[in-house]
Structure 1
């Protein structure tokens, strides 16, 4: 119930939907009830119990207005009687048929208008849920994505949201329409016969208890099904990303077997869910018919023994009306069963939405001023849980200087660099830009001053122009071309089929590694940040591409403060300062020549690379 109420929160503002939907629903129910209550005069005419010669059965005096069922009943009977007196039984039959047609038309018209409101509500709720989920995913820190499977996140943002739409949002109408329908039917039934209606109220709750038991088991199966589907999407994502490795190792049978195991499990769970869900509707119908049969036996005996206040035609109408109570009751039981799967999906979506970002702006965060002097690490520590990644980091980076971070893998180089743009916040100590703790300033204003070029070129399935001008929507063609020229990318771009408007494919798959990297550099050049973080931007390239990219990097680093993470030590020999990290601590620092003379870890690493 808690999950359902949370999902309902996304329907705000309710004033746009609920009042209008309620009005249309109530009017639709009223005219729907009128269709069935008109059966009494229709049967009376057909069975000959009312005619022009039966004045005692007619209301001859126009009733006084009052808001009651009795008034509307007498009002109809008065006019019905007038038609019988003037037109006879055939005229009365025509009159009733016309009223029924008009009533059915109005009933269905208001049902259609109510469905239009529901359609707008559904689109509104799903849009807000999808927006909230995607927004939260973009706000989460990088460590979250290391701990979560991408396939699982994709399932939550697509399949789970679709499931919420199908089984939760669509059944929101049940919360309003069906209870009103049942109440309205029972009000009419009580006015017709209190004794018979009380008899039905004893039998109906039994089916509700049994259906609730089915729904409980359905929810457990649905939860397992969604988890299995997320595994399937993870396998698909890994297959598409690693298809080259799969083929190289002849691993198609292995990966197919892995996929089939999850696929078979998901199919089994889906069959189990379908069996339980599909049981609710026929079971509720069977129980409903059983109640109707019991009512026929009980009420029929009363009518036959003349112990009931109902006439034969009234009793038939009562049975027809009661059978219509089963329609909303059946709809509620079916919705209650269907909604369980949606609530499982809702829980999974809300779990993402409720995840608190670890890097957030303070309530009074200000905009970081222009970078002028230095970046400083003061006693910085960082770790994941009990695992320490960085400890006691003290470092000054002067404006305009190039600092290189080197050391064995796992030493904390990338983590140290990631702390500057606040991809993470330190667990102890502080990072200052011109004496300002970056946690006191907005994340956006801090990252505006930093450009990042990573080892893996992160490009998007868009044109070359849009990749270079990423998030700089006001960039002109001249600015983009100038950035591409500085990055040594203009020459290969103009040779592309459509120049700067050429689509580069998923993750830039239509380009070579060097071309992708030069586009990443052009993107950073266009941003024109005063601080650069270069995470081993040339390590995966061939010699020719490396030379072009290194020239582009040199152009990019001019007059900028640069933090360079390097595995190829030959690329950072001319850095102003080299910082050697080992097991999360700074063990050496100095220029290339100083560190070689010192004969420490840096000298050993350099010697190893020269030998190799």
Structure 2
């Protein structure tokens, strides 16, 4: 992506912000203007040549001169077509490259946002901004701004030639133009509000559909098809009404514009004809021929400017939404300068406090020391703050106060990319992309070869499982990995973490909700992956963390107990002891 030297601030108009992205394409921008000027000149030249042909050669029955000027009109037409081609092609080319740069910058910006942003924003809205709204920005160049500039230049050249040819007829034409300008202005104001409403309803519709398609299993499990259908009908109705308002304004304006143009043409023919019959030497039959073309060439662009303004207005409204997102300061602070190489893995949390919402602390002054190379388990009831600790270690969120250090260095001092390269997480809900198993493991990192992946999968005991699938490592797991069971997805996640060779490994309830066969494979994978590195295991099933070097027990954002399994299990009226036995009894009853 090309760098933009001057990033417009929020007070800058959306159009200026978009034009700032044209800076790397100055040469192409200039050529678009050149072709626009050439198009205007060649387009206005044809009616003038027609006038000369009629007055000097057709009326005088001069065949050689007639053929000569017909040839000149043909050349002018060819040049106009060529200028039109290059103008349209280069304008669209410029627009698409600018849109490409904006989309890349927006995607990179969204990728840097804190997790807090994604907690509060709908995915459908972000998709609308990144895809549909940005595509509308291209219309500013392909169907809006440059087309309007070209039409206005064409109108200016035509008016100059018309005044040169016959100032009386030109004044007659211009008397009608204020009516069309007023109608156009009213139309523009109405359409601006209509387009803003259309974009809002498109965003709402995209958000609703995206969420319901993603959660279709829940919709069907709870028999909510009819309820969701009625909700969709309501949102779709608002979307339809927004577009109908747009259609209504178009249906009113364009017939009015056509009537004004036709009445002007009729009045010019009448006035010109009367002048010729009255012996006015200023008006000639060639003028009438030329003015029938001039009026169409003058009024059609003015009429179409309103239509093109609509396209540009839609692009400007879309760009306003896109730049609103681009200007959000939700990115994670990247003040660190140290490169995090391979950690020993010693972790220190000192009086760490954190809240998702202001004045509602989730982590309440935790102090915790984890020795390098040890396996630490964190347990506690839902909402105790277990997963939040992991999110803070990865700097998905910024802590309110306190410090988190690795090997004695505050994590804020490391560059974010290098810090996260040294920490791998295996989540309970594994996300896989609609791609091959190999690409889901390497995440398209060219430094991780197929041979390295196969070697790693053999080391943790999942190679046979992968080879049992059609296509092996090239098996496409489809969207979100639906072609695999939850246990199989967990195995892929373990392999993904293992090949990244992290200094610190985090297992966030990674062994829950899986079948017995997968559990055995995952247990073997866990032993291989955690060997020789600092590991943090967030456990729901307490039986899986009996052999942890240390168990941290959390309740309501605080550490209430810590020790080995045997130390905690022998503690009278201990929180962990009660939790362990209540779970053990519950599992026994299920069996």
Name the residue aligned to 1:68. Answer: none
Using the TM superposition, name which of 261-270 and 520-529 deviates more: 261-270
Name the residue aligned to 1:569. Answer: 542
Using the TM superposition, name which of 378-387 and 507-516 deviates more: 378-387
Contact 1:200 1:291 in 2 (8 A): yes
Q: Distance in 2 between matches of 1:480 and 1:347?
A: 45
- Cα deviation, 1:184-233, whole Å, max 9, x if unaligned, reads 11221232344554554454233333323333332333333333333333
Evaluate the alpha carbon distance shift between residue 537 and residue 578 of structure 1 in structure 2; reply closer, same or farther with a 3 A threshold. Answer: same
Shift of 1:138: 1.5
Indicate which of 317, 339, 344 corresponds to 1:367: 339
- Matching of residues 205-224 of structure 1 within 5 Å: 205-224=178-197
Q: Distance in 1 between matches of 2:301 and 2:62?
A: 35
Name the residue aligned to 2:351. Answer: 379
Indicate which of 83, 103, 114 corresponds to 1:141: 114
Give SS of 1:380's match: strand
Indicate which of 580, 584, 588 corresponds to 1:606: 580
Shift of 1:373: 5.4
Name the residue aligned to 1:398. Answer: 371
Shift of 1:598: 4.8
Evaluate the alpha carbon distance shift between residue 336 and residue 476 of structure 1 in structure 2; reply closer, same or farther with a 3 A threshold. Answer: closer
Q: Are 2:502 and 1:491 equivalent residues in the alignment?
A: no
Q: Are 2:91 and 1:118 equivalent residues in the alignment?
A: yes
Shift of 1:417: 0.7
Name the residue aligned to 2:392. Answer: 419
Q: Please, what is the CA RMSD of the aligned residues?
A: 2.5
Shift of 1:181: 1.0
- Matching of residues 61-210 of structure 1 within 5 Å: 89-166=62-139, 169-194=142-167, 196-198=169-171, 200-201=173-174, 203-210=176-183
Indicate which of 294, 300, 315 corresponds to 1:342: 315
Using the TM superposition, name which of 345-354 and 450-459 deviates more: 345-354
Contact 2:183 2:253 in 1 (8 A): no
Name the residue aligned to 1:77. Answer: none
Name the residue aligned to 1:355. Answer: 328
Q: Distance in 1 between matches of 2:182 and 2:462?
A: 70
Q: Are 2:362 and 1:389 equivalent residues in the alignment?
A: yes
Contact 1:496 1:502 in 2 (8 A): yes
Contact 2:95 2:139 in 1 (8 A): no
Q: Distance in 2 between matches of 1:3 and 1:157?
A: 16
Evaluate the alpha carbon distance shift between residue 429 and residue 286 of structure 1 in structure 2; reply closer, same or farther with a 3 A threshold. Answer: farther
Using the TM superposition, name which of 316-325 and 14-23 deviates more: 316-325
Contact 1:463 1:501 in 2 (8 A): yes
Q: Distance in 1 between matches of 2:459 and 2:280?
A: 100
Determine which structure has more spread, i.e. the larger CA radius of gyration: 1
Evaluate the alpha carbon distance shift between residue 256 and residue 119 of structure 1 in structure 2; reply closer, same or farther with a 3 A threshold. Answer: same
Q: Distance in 2 between matches of 1:16 and 1:487?
A: 57
Q: Distance in 2 between matches of 1:383 and 1:198?
A: 72
Contact 1:284 1:333 in 2 (8 A): no
Which ranges of structure 2 fall in alignment gaps of 5 or more residues? 1-11, 587-591
Contact 1:168 1:343 in 2 (8 A): no
Name the residue aligned to 1:57. Answer: none
Using the TM superposition, name which of 458-467 and 319-328 deviates more: 319-328
Shift of 1:579: 1.9
Using the TM superposition, name which of 346-355 and 536-545 deviates more: 346-355
Contact 1:389 1:412 in 2 (8 A): yes
Contact 2:433 2:478 in 1 (8 A): yes
Name the residue aligned to 1:19. Answer: 30
Q: Distance in 1 between matches of 2:449 and 2:67?
A: 76
Evaluate the alpha carbon distance shift between residue 408 and residue 205 of structure 1 in structure 2; reply closer, same or farther with a 3 A threshold. Answer: farther
Evaluate the alpha carbon distance shift between residue 317 and residue 247 of structure 1 in structure 2; reply closer, same or farther with a 3 A threshold. Answer: closer
Shift of 1:296: 5.2
Give SS of 2:378's match: strand
- Cα deviation, 1:372-405, whole Å, max 9, x if unaligned, reads 3522122222223413222212222221112222
Contact 1:486 1:522 in 2 (8 A): no
Indicate which of 1, 17, 28 corresponds to 1:6: 17
Which ranges of structure 1 fall in alignment gaps of 5 or more residues? 52-87
Name the residue aligned to 1:37. Answer: 48
- Matching of residues 449-460 of structure 1 within 5 Å: 449-460=422-433
- Cα deviation, 1:532-564, whole Å, max 9, x if unaligned, reads 111100112123322321221121111110111
Shift of 1:453: 0.4
Shift of 1:335: 0.9
Name the residue aligned to 1:521. Answer: 494
Shift of 1:46: 5.9
Using the TM superposition, name which of 412-421 and 372-381 deviates more: 372-381
- Cα deviation, 1:5-28, whole Å, max 9, x if unaligned, reads 222233332323222122222222
Indicate which of 230, 244, 248 corresponds to 1:257: 230
Number of residue pairs matched by the alignment? 573
Q: Distance in 2 between matches of 1:396 and 1:198?
A: 88
Give SS of 1:269's match: helix
Q: Distance in 1 between matches of 2:53 and 2:267?
A: 26
Name the residue aligned to 2:6. Answer: none
Shift of 1:295: 4.9
Q: Distance in 2 between matches of 1:14 and 1:278?
A: 38
Shift of 1:509: 1.2
Evaluate the alpha carbon distance shift between residue 307 and residue 448 of structure 1 in structure 2; reply closer, same or farther with a 3 A threshold. Answer: same
Evaluate the alpha carbon distance shift between residue 40 and residue 218 of structure 1 in structure 2; reply closer, same or farther with a 3 A threshold. Answer: closer
Contact 1:589 1:595 in 2 (8 A): yes
